[in-house]
């Protein structure tokens, strides 16, 4: 009896090992599903799409609908979706790359697709799929220095500011805003902040620096105030320690109502703006307004960042597809079929609409009659250089919020920005 029990126990333990070991064995790269009755069916290629939360591309129902449309035309390709977030998404993808299980298709922007994974040799050149009507500046941002197009662009937007119009009106600060062009001068921005503080709203805006989330807002705010730059035009070096940026950060540091807040990131700032705590958000765009529509109880008015010249340069966002080279040509071909479908015809319009942003080439009649998109669309022409593909970007991002934290803690602005540039350029040179 004892022996039998021991044997059963040993068998269970051995099986558990085998079961665990079995999980490691990978399935064939391209799997075919036999039809019922043993008849050979057309091979089904399984691909994985990983998507960051770009507008409604984080909404399972919306994405499933897009994929259903694809499968109606291409039933031979099965698409599994992996939803990523900006907090842990990079780690998930990096771990998958190192484990040899990277997704086949990924939906994100050039700072990751071109400057990171593309530059490291993990992505496929998609030059053959580029729509010739795509805006040249967009294609330029999706092209690596070796000429390879690592991102097939789908949509774009200009990141802007959001202001609480109701509060501005109540505080008498609305007069400082050019409501028609959605722009304002640095001088008027300061006056508006002062008016809001005088009205009793002490938390006007937050230079959030708890992490890299939404850092496009703080970069654009600083570089616009006095016309500074963040990186050079060649995207080879960081220039954020220029006199204009020092002046801008000093202004923000000294301005009552603007807090350097190391306990929040862009997402937190958006929430604080949406619930009325802050009077303005430096991290804002149309998708953020839509995503927070239920919380917002006031008129959220999109604004360009304030400038001395009245000529803002907004930080662009360009999102598109990248395809990982996982060593399986069948999967690469299937992935190409998928992204080609999503960037052509009606499917393209649906894909762009799902993002809540704008197409990367002229699409006649798109957003016609859509008041909100027309309003936000006024800011798109202000889109500036896409410097996020500058080498060493990942380390530079961290160095930026570290610099803001240092300034918030009392470090001299010039010293903090010099440290930022030193760190970021060291990373750029090492890349």
Partner 1 sequence: MSRALARRETIAGYLFMLPSLFFFITFVIYPMVMCVWTSLFNSTMGKEAQDTFIGIANFVELFQDKIFLKALWNTILIVVVSVPTVCIFSLWVSSRIYNMPDWACSLFRVIFYLPVITGSVAVTVVWKWMFNNYYGIFNYVGTSLGILEKNINWLGDERFALWCIILILFTTSVGQPIVLYVSALGNVDQSLVEAAQVDGATDLQVFWKIKWPQIMPTTLYILVITTINSFQCFALIQLLTSGGPNNSTQTIMYYIYYTCFKLYRYGYANAMGVVLAIIIAILSAVQFKVAQEK
Can you give the binding site for partner 1, defined by CB under 8 A? 6, 9-10, 13-14, 16-17, 90-91, 94-95, 97-98, 120-122, 203, 209-211, 259, 261-264, 272, 277, 325, 394-395, 398, 401-402, 405-406, 408-409
Spatial separation of the C-alpha atoms in residues 420 and 86, rounded to whole Å: 23
What's the min distance (Å) between Cβ of 17 and partner 1? Answer: 5
Task: Give the residue among 112, 285, 361, 137 at the shortest CA–CA distance from 351.
Answer: 361
Per-residue tokens: 46: 């399984």
Which string of DSSP letters, residue by residue, matches 147-199? S-B--EEEEEEE-EEEEEHHHHHHHT-GGGSBTTTTB-BHHHHHHHHHHHHHT
Exposure class string for 276-304: b at 16+ Cβ within 10 A, else e: bebbbbbbbbbbbbebbeeebebebbbbb
CB-nearer residue toward partner 1: 96 or 251: 96
What's the min distance (Å) between Cβ of 268 and partner 1? Answer: 9
Spatial separation of the C-alpha atoms in residues 308 and 301, rounded to whole Å: 21
Per-residue tokens: 86: 């900006």
CB-nearer residue toward partner 1: 17 or 233: 17
CB-nearer residue toward partner 1: 98 or 254: 98
What's the min distance (Å) between Cβ of 155 and partner 1? Answer: 27
For the chain, the C-alpha Rg in angstroms (whole number) is 25
Spatial separation of the C-alpha atoms in residues 246 and 255, rounded to whole Å: 14
Q: What are phi and psi of 341, to 5 degrees?
A: -65, -45
What's the min distance (Å) between Cβ of 95 and partner 1? Answer: 8
What's the min distance (Å) between Cβ of 304 and partner 1? Answer: 26
CB-nearer residue toward partner 1: 183 or 425: 425
Spatial separation of the C-alpha atoms in residues 407 and 29, rounded to whole Å: 51
What's the min distance (Å) between Cβ of 10 and partner 1? Answer: 6
Which string of DSSP letters, residue by residue, matches 88-101? THHHHHHHHHHHT-
CB-nearer residue toward partner 1: 100 or 369: 100
Query: Strand 280-284 to strand 160-164: parallel, antiparallel, or no bridges (unpaired)?
Result: antiparallel
What's the min distance (Å) between Cβ of 393 and partner 1? Answer: 11
CB-nearer residue toward partner 1: 112 or 182: 112
Per-residue tokens: 423: 């760190």
CB-nearer residue toward partner 1: 262 or 421: 262
What's the min distance (Å) between Cβ of 414 and partner 1? Answer: 17
CB-nearer residue toward partner 1: 125 or 325: 325
Helix H or strand E encompassing 358: strand 358-359
Contact at 8 Å (CB) between 305 and 160? yes
Contact at 8 Å (CB) between 46 and 80? yes
What's the min distance (Å) between Cβ of 278 and partner 1? Answer: 8
CB-nearer residue toward partner 1: 94 or 131: 94
What's the min distance (Å) between Cβ of 20 and partner 1? Answer: 8
CB-nearer residue toward partner 1: 18 or 27: 18
Spatial separation of the C-alpha atoms in residues 18 and 393, rounded to whole Å: 44
Tell me the sheet residues that pair with 280. Answer: 163
Tell me the sheet residues that pair with 303. Answer: 161
CB-nearer residue toward partner 1: 67 or 115: 115
Place of tokens 């709203």: 201
What's the min distance (Å) between Cβ of 263 and partner 1? Answer: 3
Per-residue tokens: 379: 């800011």
Spatial separation of the C-alpha atoms in residues 209 and 251, rounded to whole Å: 17
């Amino acid at each position: 009896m004892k022996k039998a029990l021991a044997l059963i126990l040993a068998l269970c333990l051995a099986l558990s090992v085998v079961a665990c070991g079995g999980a490691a064995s990978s399935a064939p790269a391209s799997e075919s599903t036999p039809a019922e009755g043993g008849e050979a069916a057309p091979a089904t290629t399984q691909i994985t799409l990983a998507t960051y939360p770009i507008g409604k591309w984080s909404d399972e129902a919306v994405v499933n609908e897009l994929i259903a449309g694809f499968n109606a035309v291409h039933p031979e390709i099965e698409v599994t979706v992996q939803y990523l977030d900006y907090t842990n998404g990079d780690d998930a993808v990096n771990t998958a790359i190192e484990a040899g299980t990277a997704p086949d298709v990924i939906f994100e922007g050039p700072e990751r697709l071109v400057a990171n994974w593309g530059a490291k040799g993990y992505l496929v050149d998609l030059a053959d799929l580029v729509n010739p009507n795509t805006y040249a500046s967009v294609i330029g941002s999706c092209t690596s220095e070796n000429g390879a197009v690592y991102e097939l662009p789908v949509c774009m937007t200009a990141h802007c500011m959001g202001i609480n119009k109701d509060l501005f009106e109540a505080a008498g600060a609305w007069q400082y805003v050019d409501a028609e062009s959605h722009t304002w001068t640095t001088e008027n921005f300061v006056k508006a902040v002062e008016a809001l503080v005088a009205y009793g709203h002490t938390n006007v805006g937050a230079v959030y620096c708890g992490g890299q989330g939404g850092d496009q807002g703080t970069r654009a705010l600083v570089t616009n105030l006095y016309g500074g730059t963040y990186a050079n035009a060649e995207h080879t070096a960081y220039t954020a320690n220029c006199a204009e940026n020092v002046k801008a950060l000093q202004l923000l540091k000294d301005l009552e109502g603007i807090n350097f807040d190391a306990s929040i990131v862009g997402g937190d700032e958006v929430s604080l703006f949406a619930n009325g705590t802050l009077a303005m958000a430096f991290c804002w765009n149309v998708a953020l307004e839509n995503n927070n529509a239920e919380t917002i109880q006031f008129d959220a008015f999109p604004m360009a960042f304030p400038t001395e010249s009245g000529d803002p340069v907004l930080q662009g966002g360009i999102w598109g597809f990248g395809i990982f080279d996982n060593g399986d040509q069948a999967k690469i071909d299937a992935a190409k079929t998928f992204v080609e479908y999503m960037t052509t015809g009606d499917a393209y319009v649906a894909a762009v609409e799902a993002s809540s942003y704008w197409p990367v080439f002229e699409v006649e009649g798109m957003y016609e009659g859509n008041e909100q998109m027309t309003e936000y669309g006024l800011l798109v022409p202000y889109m500036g250089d896409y410097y996020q593909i500058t080498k060493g970007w990942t380390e530079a991002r961290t160095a930026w919020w570290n610099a803001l934290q240092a300034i918030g803690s009392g470090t001299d602005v010039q010293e903090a920005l010099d440290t930022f540039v030193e760190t970021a350029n060291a990373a750029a040179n090492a890349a």
